[in-house]
Chain A
Amino acid sequence: MKYTQGRYIILSKKTLAKEIYDMTILCPEIAEIAKAGQFVNVKVNGFTLRRPISICSIDREKGTLRIVFEVRGEGTKEMSQIAEGELIDIVAPLGGRGFKVDQFETAVIIGGGIGTPPMLAVAEKFGEKGTVISGFRNAAAVILQEDFKAAGAETILCTDDGSAGKKGFVTDALKEVLSRKKPEVIFACGPDVMLRRVIEIAKENNIKCQVSLEERMGCGVGACLVCACRTIRNGDEYYAHVCKDGPVFNAEEVLFDER
């Protein structure tokens, strides 16, 4: 494993929806080794901690990474001020385990809200063999639908209020999809409540499932042990660390904290 820290140029920056930004970063040595599900840790001027942002898409030929992030607080607000043509300081590629895609032919790929961006890199691996289900609060929050279609996936959009796509949750759409086809694997990233339900449905249907988790991070590399998540390891309960042991976990490993 090799971690790189450097300042790289932002080739393009767009706004995808309210407070959601899309940056393409030229960083060939990182793009060369980055995998779907991994993340970059972004330095933000004036803040002690970096901001971990999932990799949305990887273009090895062009040597670029794409990140899509939402302004959630002061740090991401500051980060959103970095302009096209300016340099962004990242440590990457981080995440000991991305999505394991290689041994599967067919997949259902699920993203909820700002958990949707990392699923694009997965969808791009599966092409027409992938079905993407993504869910958002409303039409104004919808992102990346054209990219999923361009990747070749059957693309199902859901919104909580029905203002775009189907009205309902991604889990409703998942059940509908599973009633007509059985994929080898389900991949998901989104809020805990969504992931719990996806894992239940995968289990009921006896389908393998991998989920990407989120937790507040410190070092981003597995040294400081702050980004703990409850898991089962060798039959024992163990606080794994999202940055190094994940961020992607097999569904059967994950125990969600009650809080």
Chain B
Amino acid sequence: MSDKLSVNFAGVDFKNPVIPASGAFGYGREYENFYPLSNLGGISVKGTTGTKRNGNLPPRIAETPSGMLNSVGLQNPGIDHFIKIELPNLKTKDTVIIANIAGSTADEYREIAEKLENTDVDMIEVNISCPNVKAGGAAFGVTCEGAASITKIVRAATRKPVMMKLSPNVTNIAEIAKAVEAEGADAVSLINTLLGMKIDIKTRRPVLHNNVGGLSGPAVFPVAVRMVWQVSNAVKIPVCGMGGISRWQDVVEMMMAGAQVVQIGAAMFSDPFAPLKIIEGLENYVSENDLNNLQEIVGTVIPW
């Protein structure tokens, strides 16, 4: 592999810009049964809270046209388990480890960030946009004040690079991005899932037990590209783009819109090898277009 895909993103060196998205990749253990994790640019781990959470009642997934809804509800073993059991294993994998954190209260975010401060985590992604939990979650991410307040608290608790994960379920995502930038965020990632619903017309019941859930998959890709473009134009901090990416061409598009790195989620459910195929496609793209580094295309969209 050449270093033409390498990127320094928010102060962290990635060998390539392709990162499995939080929630789609657990803590990496399962996909290691397919390929070495060292092939990946980084891993954004399962959203982790202050204490263990059981998540929502099943069913937690529903298929929709060109996509899927999920309502896992942040099931996870808690931050102490992550630090003690999962992180030591992940750190042997020769890839960037991004801890994804979530809380019900501002205090919970602070406590988790403090616990991560003296660990080997490379970066912290702060989920203020989970649509599937009752307390906290998206509530912080849908107003500039809420997003800014969590950014400020996490910023004060850690020197590690802080990336705020933004919700698309807002009127103006660029304003939210500006609010978190102003409080010292090192990067933003977007988009989290779009809130959706599917009803079984035979039973008149929502398919998801949570009634509503987060939409992902190719269906959301154009929305994600639009939002990445708007946010890139609004802030100076770097952008991690995600939402419906399934092919290398999608990554090129997302980068032209302004993303420096990308995350891959639902695509792995269809093809567990999707991240590797995308990396290979990007390698070919770089050589066919005589680029010194893939980053040369970032933000190069020529708007009308």
Question: Which A residues are within 8 Å of any B CB, using their own CB?
Answer: 1-3, 5, 43, 47-50, 75, 91, 215-229, 237-239, 244, 257, 259
Q: CA A219 – CA B25 in complex, angstroms?
A: 9
Chain B contacts with A in 250-295, Cβ cutoff 8 A: 266, 268-273
Q: CA A73 – CA B199 in complex, angstroms?
A: 15
Q: Which B residue sits closest to A46, measured CB to CB?
A: B66
Q: In the complex, what residues of A have CB within 8 A of residue B75's CB?
A: 225, 228, 239
Q: Is the interface of A mostly helix, strand, loop or mixed?
A: loop
Given contacts A48-B270, A218-B269, A259-B57, contact A223 B33 (CB under 8 A): no
Q: CA A39 – CA B148 in complex, angstroms?
A: 46
- Point out the residue from B25, B54, B56, B273 that lies within 8 Å of A238, measured CB to CB: B54
- Point out the residue from B24, B56, B63 that lies within 8 Å of A219, measured CB to CB: B24
Judge whether B26 is part of the interface by a CB distance below 8 angstroms: yes
In the complex, what's the smallest C-beta–C-beta distance from B37 to chain A, in angstroms?
12
Contact A224 B55 (CB under 8 A): no
Q: In the complex, what residues of A have CB within 8 A of residue B29's CB?
A: 222
In the complex, what's the smallest C-beta–C-beta distance from B24 to chain A, in angstroms?
6
Q: 1/0 contact trace for B175-213 toward A, CB 8 Å?
A: 000000000000000000000000000000000010000
Q: In the complex, what residues of B have CB within 8 A of residue A238's CB?
A: 54
Judge whether B217 is part of the interface by a CB distance below 8 angstroms: yes
Q: CA A238 – CA B58 in complex, angstroms?
A: 13
Contact B68 A227 (CB under 8 A): no
Contact B61 A218 (CB under 8 A): yes
Contact A43 B270 (CB under 8 A): yes
Contact A239 B24 (CB under 8 A): no
Q: CA A55 – CA B130 in complex, angstroms?
A: 36
Q: 1/0 contact trace for B72-84 toward A, CB 8 Å?
A: 1001000000000
- Point out the residue from B31, B67, B72 that lies within 8 Å of A226, measured CB to CB: B72
Q: CA A233 – CA B33 in complex, angstroms?
A: 25
Contact B67 A48 (CB under 8 A): yes
Judge whether B222 is part of the interface by a CB distance below 8 angstroms: no
Contact A216 B62 (CB under 8 A): yes
How many residues of B are in contact with the other chain, CB < 8 A? Answer: 37
In the complex, what's the smallest C-beta–C-beta distance from A8 to chain B, in angstroms?
16
Given contacts A48-B66, A49-B68, A216-B61, contact A223 B31 (CB under 8 A): yes
Question: Which B residues are within 8 Å of any A CB, using their own CB?
Answer: 23-26, 29-31, 33-34, 46, 54-64, 66-68, 70, 72, 75, 209, 217-218, 266, 268-273
Contact A224 B58 (CB under 8 A): no
Q: Which B residue sits closest to A44, measured CB to CB?
A: B270
Contact A91 B60 (CB under 8 A): no
Contact B54 A221 (CB under 8 A): no
Q: Is the interface of B mostly helix, strand, loop or mixed?
A: loop
Contact A226 B58 (CB under 8 A): yes
Q: CA A132 – CA B25 in complex, angstroms?
A: 39
Contact B272 A48 (CB under 8 A): no
Given contacts A43-B270, A239-B75, contact A215 B54 (CB under 8 A): no
Q: CA A229 – CA B46 in complex, angstroms?
A: 19
Contact A221 B272 (CB under 8 A): yes
Q: In the complex, what residues of A have CB within 8 A of residue B68's CB?
A: 48-49, 218
Contact A3 B58 (CB under 8 A): no
Q: CA A219 – CA B270 in complex, angstroms?
A: 8
Q: In the complex, what residues of B have CB within 8 A of residue A47's CB?
A: 63, 270
Contact B26 A225 (CB under 8 A): yes
Given contacts A3-B33, A237-B54, contact A217 B270 (CB under 8 A): no
Contact A224 B62 (CB under 8 A): no
Q: Which A residue sits closest to B246, measured CB to CB?
A: A48
Q: List 6 A-B contacts (CB under 8 A).
A: A3-B33, A43-B271, A216-B58, A218-B68, A221-B31, A226-B70
Q: Which A residue sits closest to B67, measured CB to CB?
A: A48
In the complex, what's the smallest C-beta–C-beta distance from B19 to chain A, in angstroms?
14
Between A1, A217, A226, A238, the greatest number of chain B beta carbons within 10 A of the residue's beta carbon is seen for: A226
Contact A48 B26 (CB under 8 A): no
Contact B54 A224 (CB under 8 A): no
In the complex, the 5 A-B pairs of residues with the closest C-beta atoms, listed nearest first? A223-B26, A226-B61, A226-B60, A221-B30, A223-B30
Q: CA A223 – CA B66 in complex, angstroms?
A: 21
- Point out the residue from B24, B58, B60, B273 that lies within 8 Å of A223, measured CB to CB: B24
In the complex, what's the smallest C-beta–C-beta distance from A79 to chain B, in angstroms?
13
Q: CA A3 – CA B70 in complex, angstroms?
A: 24
Q: CA A218 – CA B34 in complex, angstroms?
A: 16
- Point out the residue from B57, B59, B63, B269 that lies within 8 Å of A224, measured CB to CB: B269
Q: Which A residue sits closest to B23, measured CB to CB?
A: A224
Contact B270 A49 (CB under 8 A): yes
Contact B30 A48 (CB under 8 A): no
Q: CA A75 – CA B56 in complex, angstroms?
A: 25
Given contacts A218-B70, A219-B24, A224-B24, contact A50 B269 (CB under 8 A): yes
In the complex, what's the smallest C-beta–C-beta distance from B36 to chain A, in angstroms?
13
Q: CA A244 – CA B75 in complex, angstroms?
A: 15
